[in-house]
Amino acid sequence: MTKSPLTLYLAAPRGFCAGVDRAIKIVEMALEKWGAPVYVRHEIVHNKYVVDALRDQGAVFVEELEECPDDRPVIFSAHGVPKSVPAAAQHREMVYVDATCPLVSKVHIEAERHHANGLQMVMIGHEGHPETVGTMGQLPEGEVILVETAEDVATITPRDPSKLAFITQTTLSVDDTASVVAALNERFPTIIGPHKEDICYATTNRQEAVKAMAARTKAMLVIGAPNSSNSKRLVEVGAKAGCSYAQLVQRAADIDWRALEGIESIGITAGASAPEVLINEVIDAFKSRYDVTEEIVETAVENVEFKVPRVLRETA
Beta-strand relationship, 59-62 and 290-298: unpaired
Cβ 293 vs Cβ 7: under 8 Å? yes
Query: Which residue among 28, 131, 276, 295 is the active-site one?
Result: 131
Residue 146 sits at φ, ψ, to 5 deg, of -95, 130
Could you please report the per-residue DSSP string of 38-89?
EEEES-SSS-HHHHHHHHHHTEEEESSGGGS-TTS-EEE-TT---THHHHHH
Cβ 186 vs Cβ 214: under 8 Å? no
First to last CA, the chain: 60
CA dist 45 and 31 (Å) reads: 17
Residues 6+ apart with CB under 8 A from 186: none
Assess whether 131 carries a catalytic annotation.
yes
Burial class (CB in 10 A: 0-12, 13-18, 19+), 151: exposed
Residues annotated as catalytic (active site), given as ranges: 131
